[in-house]
Amino acid sequence: MERIAVFPGSFDPITAGHESLVSRGLNIFDKIIVGVGVNADKHGFLPFEKRLELIKSVFKGNSRVMVKTYENLTVDFCIENGASHILRGLRTSADFEYERSIAQVNKTLRPQIDTVFLLALPEFSSVSSSLVREVIHYRGDARKFLPLGIDFEYFFGYNPDNQ
């Protein structure tokens, strides 16, 4: 039986920490679905379509990583996609408390779905999408927080080398 995990989030934008978790998760799972949650009430920093394009560009060429969108509960998305696990990253003890409570609710809703936590690598423990958004908003050089090889000017509208 194939071991499939869903890595859910808004990924606005995807960070080097997210990429690291997926890469490390592939040592545990046969396939990882990066599940990009759709929230009609929330307008993101990057347009939704551009977020999807960015995530797909990060994992292009890796047939074990799929990118899909969903508008329902994460555990229901797991069931729909044959996933038995949810993959989550932990940067801090505050992350643990928050993620633990979500994992417990998910387990109550769908007992067959387990949540697996991976600790962020030390170099990514301070990296969050909100931090990256702020650096980009003020036209700073956020490249060290993002996956390598991203067309920064295309996705974010400026070239940090020309600042």
Instruction: Return d(Cα 36, Cα 69) in angstroms, integer.
Output: 5
How far are the Cα atoms of 52, 57, 128 from residue 17, in angstroms, in the given order? 17, 16, 8
Instruction: Return d(Cα 119, Cα 15) in angstroms, integer.
Output: 15
Inter-residue contact 103 to 113 (CB < 8 Å): no
Residues annotated as catalytic are 18, 42, 91, 129
| Amino acid identity, position 67 | V
DSSP state of 64: T
Query: Exposure string (b/e) for 6-38, b if CB count within 10 Å is 16 or more?
Result: bbbbbbbbbbbbbbbbbeebbeebebbbbbbbe
How far are the Cα atoms of 3, 70, 89, 110 from residue 113, in angstroms, in the given order? 12, 17, 17, 6
